Amino acid sequence: MTFSTRLSELMKEKKITAYRVGIDLNVSQSSVKNWLSGTNIPNGEKLQALAKYFGVSVSYLFNETDSPTPPNNTAPYISPDEYEFVTKILDLPPEKRKAIETLING
């Protein structure tokens, strides 16, 4: 299941329209429609906001877990900027990630 499918299912389940999501999260209706079509995915800040809005984890939105909410207190909260930064690192090719790890560990 993709992010767009999961988002669509949550919206249907809660009977919420793209227009309503846009208003509530302060984004355009076309942005929400792009998320639903799989054209784009929201940035870290909006991902966190979407997860909170639907009462689920970001991992659930990306179908990395079947459990809508994470177990209590298993991981510290990270800010949307930190999430976006970590996501960028994880998207790097392995050799570049290794270079960053070497830099961090000295």
The residues of the chain that CATH labels 1.10.260.40 are 1-72
Number of other CB atoms surrounding residue 62 within 10 Å: 15
Residues 44 and 80: their CA atoms lie apart, in Å, by 5
In degrees, rounded to 5, the angle at the alpha carbon of residue 67 between the alpha carbons of residues 84 and 50 is 40
CB 7 within 8 A of CB 61: yes
Q: What is the pLDDT of residue 42?
A: 92
**Which CATH code is given to the segment(s) 1-72?**
1.10.260.40
Read off the pTM.
0.64
**pLDDT score of 87:** 80
**For residue 20, what are the CA distances in angstroms to 14, 77, 94?**
11, 27, 40
Q: In one letter, which amino acid is 50?
A: L
CA distance 23 to 43: 17
Is 96 or 66 the better-scoring residue by pLDDT? Answer: 96
Q: How confident is the model at residue 5 (pLDDT cuts 50, 70, 90)?
A: very high
Quick: pLDDT tens for 35-91. Answer: 999 999 898 889 989 998 888 888 899 888 887 876 564 555 666 777 788 888 888
Each residue's pLDDT tens digit, 21-30: 999 999 999 9
